[in-house]
Amino acid sequence: MGLPSADPLGMIVRTRYAPSPTGLPHVGNMRAALFDWLLARNAGGTFILRIEDTDRERYVDGGVEAQMEALRWLGLDWDEGPDVGGPHAPYTQSERLALYLEAAERLVANGKAYHCFCTPERLGELRRQQQAAKQPPGYDRRCRALPPQELAERLEADEPNVIRFASPTEGETSFRDAIRGVVTVENRTIDDFVILKSDGYPTYHLASVVDDKAMAISHVFRGDEWIPSAPRHALIYTALGYEPSLFVHLPSILGADRKRLAKRHGSTTVLEYRDAGYLPEAMVNFLALLGWSLDDKTEIIDRETLVRSFSLDRVSATPGIFDADKLRWMNGEYIRALPEDELARRILPFLQRELPETAREPDLELVGRIVPLIQTRMELLADAYPLTAFFFTREILVTADDLLGKRFASEPEVALAALTAATERLGALPDWTHEGIQSALRGLGEELGLKPRDFFGLLRMAVTGSTVSPPLFESLEILGREVTLERIGDAGRTLRPAAG
C-alpha cells in the first residue's frame, strides 16, 4: 500500500477537528481546528466536528460544550458533527464502540493483534525494571505467543484483558507528512501498543484511524507532539487495508521563553481570551500566523483573505512563538477598524458585567455616543470599563488630595475658586455642546491665570474621578449639564475644609 500523495490537488478535502473533552479548549486545539477549517473552506470541502471521548477516566463535564463554544466564538462552523448530524453519524466515539470492537477483532483474526492478560501490577513492575536498567519503556510481548489452548481457556474464563497491536519487530515503517515529507522509523522502536482497553473502549490509536477511514478524512491536522504516534497509525492503516489520510503535523507553539506554551505564559484557554476582551477576528488572524504565513510581511489578514490564500505549502515546521504583546496590538488594530455601532454592541456586555448594581444601566444608544471618545484608546473590549465607568456611576468619590494633586497641594483655595468659577460659567452656557464647553472653560482658565493642564486636570478629577479619561469636553457634553455641575459642586464641598 502506497503513501498518500503529497500533492492534494484534485483531492476531495474532508478535514476533522476531533477534540477530547478532557479539558478546556486551549490555543493549540484551536490553531489545529482553524487550519482544518481553512483548508476545507479554501478547497470547497467539508469540515467535521468529531468528539473523541474514549478516555473516560479524564472526561470533564462540560468539556464538549466548551469546545463547541470556542469554535462558535471563532466562527469555525462545521458541516457535520454531533449536533448537526451528517452521513457518518454518530460523531461521538462513545457511540461508535461496535466499530472499534469489530476492527480490533479483525486484526486479532488476521494475526495483527492479540489479547494481553498482563495485570497493571505486572506492567508497573516491568516499567520499574526497565527504568532501573535504563532501558526504553515498552511492553515485553509476553502474551504475544500464548499457547492456543491457554488463550482459549483464559478467554472462556472471561479474564480481564486488553488487545494489543502486534507491531513488526524488523524492517521500517514510513508515513507521509504534508510539512516534513516522508518520515521513516525502524520497527524495533515501536512497541506492542494497546488498541482496545479492558472496558471495551478503544485507545486513540485505533479509534482515530477507524473513524478517519469511515468518515473519508483526507487530511489529519494535529500538533507535532503526535509525530511519535504516527508510525503506529500507519501500521494500523496497513493492517486494516485502509488508504492512509495525509498527516499534517503542525509546529509547536512556544512562549516568549522558547518553551512549550503552558499556563505559566498566561491565559491559554481560548475562552479566557474571549472573556478578557479579545475579538474573534483578531484571535483567528493571530492563530493563523502561528505556523502559516501569507508572505514575509503581512500581519493583519482578514478572514476572507485567509480562506482564499490558505495552502499547506505555506505551513512551516518551525515552532510558532506566542507573543502576547503582538496579540494585544493586533486586537487593538481590529478594535479601531470596527464600525462605531458594532464596537458599541460588543462593549455593552463588558460594561454590564463590570458595573455595580447601583450604577446607571448602560444602553446601546449611550455607549454608541461614548465609543468615538475611546475607540483609539482601547486594545481590549474590557478596556472600556475603566475608561467609561464614570458615565454610569451615580457618585464620584474623590478626596481632597486627589483633587489637589501636586499643583494645588499648597493652594487649595485656588483650586476651590477655580471649581466655583467653573460651576458659574458652565451653568450660564446657553447651549450644552462640547464646542461651547471648550470655549467657555479655555477662556475661564486664562482669566484665572491657570495653565490648561492644571485647570482641566482639576476638572477631570472632579467629574471623572481619574487623572486619565476620554476627551474632557466631549465627556462633559455626554454627561449632561446637571450631572457635570453636581459633580463639580461635590468636589468643591470636598475642598472647603482644606481651603479654610
Q: Quick check: 1 pLDDT over 80?
A: no
Structure confidence at residue 69 as a pLDDT band (50, 70, 90): very high
Please answer whether residues 330 and 302 qualify as being in contact, where contact means their C-beta atoms are separated by less than 8 angstroms: no
Question: By mean pLDDT, which of 3-12, 199-208, 313-322, 432-441 is the weakest?
Answer: 3-12
Angstrom distances, CA of residue 351 to CA of 226, 277, 355, 363: 42, 11, 6, 10
In this prediction, residue 41 has a pLDDT band, given cuts at 50, 70 and 90, of very high
What is the pLDDT confidence band of residue 389, given thresholds at 50, 70 and 90?
very high
- Distance (Å, rounded) from C-alpha 181 to C-alpha 176? 5
Residue 186 has pLDDT above 60, yes or no: yes
Percent over 70 (pLDDT), the chain = 97
Q: Residues 324, 188: contact at Cβ < 8 Å?
A: no
Tell me, yes or no, if the pTM score tops 0.75: yes
**Confidence band (pLDDT; 50, 70, 90) for 257?**
confident
Half-sphere exposure of 206 (CA within 13 A, CB side): 31
Buried b (16+ CB within 10 A) or exposed e, 339-362: eeeebbebbbebbeebbeeebeeb
Fold agreement (14-254, 395-500)? no
Model pLDDT for residues 115-147, shown as the tens digit of each residue: 999 999 999 999 999 999 999 899 999 999 999
* Contacting residues for 1 by C-beta, under 8 A, at least 6 apart: 237, 238, 241, 243, 244
CA–CA separation, 362 and 380 (whole Å) = 18
**Angstrom distances, CA of residue 267 to CA of 24, 275, 276, 311, 340:** 12, 10, 9, 29, 28
Q: In this structure, which topology does domain 395-500 adopt according to CATH?
A: Arc Repressor Mutant, subunit A (1.10.10)
263 counts as catalytic: yes
Q: What are phi and psi of 499, to 5 degrees?
A: -85, -5
CATH for 14-254 is: 3.40.50.620
**Average pLDDT of every residue of the chain:** 94
pLDDT confidence of residue 341? 97
Q: How far apart are CA 110 and CA 113, in angstroms?
A: 8
How confident is the model at residue 474, as a pLDDT? 97
Whether residue 253 is predicted with pLDDT greater than 80 in this model: the reply is yes
Q: Which of 134, 263, 297, 406 is catalytic?
A: 263
Where does residue 198 rank: exposed (0-12), middle (13-18), buried (19+ CB within 10 A)?
middle
Element (DSSP H or E) covering residue 248 = strand 246-250
Count, in order, helices (H) and strands (E) of the chain: 20, 11
Query: Residue ranges per domain, the chain?
Result: 14-254, 395-500
**pLDDT of res. 2:** 59
Whether the CB-CB separation of 261 and 320 falls below 8 Å is answered with: no
